[in-house]
A and B are shown apart, each in its own frame.
Chain A
């Protein structure tokens, strides 16, 4: 049976790999999920409905 090799020195090194010319990723949105996006959508629909209701006869 093949034994699991201990991780090499190279693999255990932390990756300090920042790219100063990279566009910042929208990690906040991903981490928070789509709750905020859904909330904004609901507010938009409600506002449209109110506007339509107000414009009616």
Chain B
């Protein structure tokens, strides 16, 4: 079944219509200055004005849209909870772990069940006003937003290994997603070095190292020395850059491979958020 996926997570709009294993249409466009900032939509009407012709140009006809929103809209955690914890206990844990203003912030959690010997919960807290602007932008483009999720959740579905770090250098505000046991654990952004020349390795390695330090400290967990770092970039990365990053972070570094069942004409690095949305099993 064909689906429409929209990535509104950066200062651009990226759309893919289709289904995994089937034909796909895709397109991308920039948004006017000031309409979006670090993935936060400030002017929904301006975003809709760009989205509408983008859909028309690419002959996209689906009207029910799944949307990947920027992780800057909120925050998420994977929480370990006691097996016997009640929904009330979990709500209390979330309130403790995710410090937020209940007037401005909404929360939701998903029980992931028993994983690796413990009960885990995926909890998200987000800014209501910022999410409202995402929904408004999509609606003003005559679409119905049936799903909105954080982009980190979308991208996690694309990774080929259970434990890894994804570095998305496809936009100016680069993103890091630490995935452990197929679950997103940490998200971080940094300004991508441009161009990605040989000197770029240090600028990319620095935030990765700091993320790894944070995760090792906060989880008391071991991060396997063989867990790869996958880099996604618009331009072809020189092996020298990858080797440079690997030397500095002490982990193997590779280019993120295209997900299975994606047509070769779809540049997966550009459409990570959209492709991850298309891999969702539940719609709406």
Which positions in A face B, CB cutoff 8 Å? 13-22, 24, 27-28, 31
Contact = CB atoms under 8 A, between A and B. Distances in A.
Contacts of B206: none
20 contacts: A13-B182, A14-B182, A16-B122, A16-B157, A16-B183, A17-B153, A17-B281, A18-B110, A18-B122, A18-B153, A19-B146, A19-B284, A20-B69, A20-B106, A20-B124, A20-B149, A21-B131, A21-B146, A21-B147, A22-B284
Give the dominant DSSP class at B's interface: strand
Contact of B145 (A17, A18, A21, A27): A21
Given A20-B126, A20-B131, A27-B87, A15 B281 contact: yes
A20 B281 contact: no
B57 interface: no
Interface of B: 69, 87, 106, 108-110, 112-113, 115, 120, 122, 124, 126, 131, 135, 145-150, 153, 156-157, 181-184, 280-282, 284
B148 A20 contact: yes
Contacts of B145: 21
Contacts of A24: 108
Given A19-B149, A20-B131, A14 B183 contact: yes
Give the most central of A14, A22, A31: most B CB within 10 Å: A14
Given A20-B124, A20-B148, A20-B149, A15 B69 contact: no
Contact of B282 (A14, A17, A28, A31): A17
Contacts of B122: 16, 18
A18 B73 CA distance: 15
Contacts of B182: 13-14
The 4 closest A-B pairs by CB, nearest first: A20-B148, A13-B182, A21-B148, A14-B112
Contacts of B148: 19-21
A27 B87 CA distance: 9
Nearest to B113: A14
B36 to A, nearest CB: 18
B153 A16 contact: yes
A13 to B, nearest CB: 5
Contacts of A27: 87
A14 B78 CA distance: 12
Contact of B115 (A14, A19, A28): A14
Nearest to A19: B147
B284 to A, nearest CB: 7
Nearest to A13: B182
A20 B113 CA distance: 20
A21 B135 contact: yes
B280 to A, nearest CB: 6
A16 B108 contact: no
Contacts of A14: 112-113, 115, 120, 181-183
Nearest to A27: B87
A20 B108 contact: yes
Given A13-B182, A24-B108, A28-B87, A18 B284 contact: no
Nearest to B106: A20
